[in-house]
């Protein structure tokens, strides 16, 4: 089994990290570069930066922020928000990001997934899915969770996979910021539908929630924001819980390697 990753998510608005509940009521959570440096030292496996108003405001992503982050950390990181073209993808990667996350533009022009995977490799293309439950299915939302598409999230995940996406970043809008746990039914339904790695997002409130997302929801990575930004839970404690529950982590792999030297 591959190591399960713990990924802090930094939602960025006006150059600052913010966090809200159900995608609204945002509060300031610090400087993105300073937060990135903290997580680099804290033992995070990756980072995700999402410019949450770039699509709604129809503007480019903050490339200077991407460059500053790349200059100050060693962690791999993903950047999303306002990505509309292959050229946008290229600029973000050139600025220092390892992966690009696309959501709104991917839905509006699905060929962007295919072109990105063809030019940069599937490993660089992360398709973000913001989903809210409606009856027996989950509806896909775009523009930072503001616009309902009428599309089925599971069907869209299948199409993203077919078009060459390398990974899915799945946020439950019902769970986002509530701290009631990840959306296990959504994660399970997705893991039974596709074979891509799934990053679980939305709802973390306790260490056990991370364990449940991996063991019950079959997620390949777990993402959190406010719990980590405000230092309520430490990454080391999550990794310790993973080890205690037999979940492989990068921490475990590094420890094993150290013992062999």
Residues taking part in catalysis: 11, 130
Environment class of 68 (CB within 10 Å of its CB; exposed 0-12, middle 13-18, buried 19+) = middle
Residue 73: CB atoms within 10 A of its CB come to 20
CA pair distance 28, 202, nearest whole angstrom: 18
Two tokens, residue 20: 């809200």
Nearest to 63 by CA among 89, 29, 102: 89
Two tokens, residue 178: 């509530």
Q: Which residues, in sequence order, are CB contacts of 256 under 8 Å at separation 6+?
A: none
Two tokens, residue 78: 């993903």
CA pair distance 207, 20, nearest whole angstrom: 20
């Amino acid at each position: 089994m591959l190591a399960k990753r713990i990924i802090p998510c930094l939602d960025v608005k006006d150059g600052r990290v913010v966090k809200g509940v159900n995608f609204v009521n945002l509060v300031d959570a610090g400087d993105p570069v300073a937060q990135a440096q903290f997580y680099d030292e804290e033992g995070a496996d990756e980072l995700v930066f999402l410019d949450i108003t770039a699509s709604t405001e129809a503007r480019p992503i903050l490339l200077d922020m991407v460059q500053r982050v790349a200059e100050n950390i060693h962690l791999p990181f993903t950047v999303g928000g306002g990505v509309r073209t292959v050229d946008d993808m290229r600029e973000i990667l050139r600025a220092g990001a390892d992966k690009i996350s696309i959501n709104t533009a991917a839905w509006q022009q699905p060929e962007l997934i295919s072109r990105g995977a063809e030019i940069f490799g599937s490993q660089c293309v992360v398709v973000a899915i913001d989903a809210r439950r409606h009856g027996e299915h989950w509806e896909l939302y775009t523009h930072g969770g503001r616009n309902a598409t009428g599309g089925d999230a599971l069907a869209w995940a299948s199409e993203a996979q077919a078009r060459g996406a390398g990974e899915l970043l799945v946020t439950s809008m019902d769970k986002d910021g509530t701290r009631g746990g990840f959306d296990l039914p959504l994660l399970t339904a997705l893991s039974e539908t596709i074979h891509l790695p799934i990053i679980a997002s939305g709802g973390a409130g306790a260490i056990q929630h991370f364990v449940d997302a991996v063991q019950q929801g079959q997620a390949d990575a777990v993402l959190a924001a406010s719990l980590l930004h405000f230092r309520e839970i430490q990454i080391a404690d999550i990794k310790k819980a993973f080890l205690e529950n037999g979940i492989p982590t990068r921490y475990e792999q590094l420890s094993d390697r150290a013992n062999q030297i």
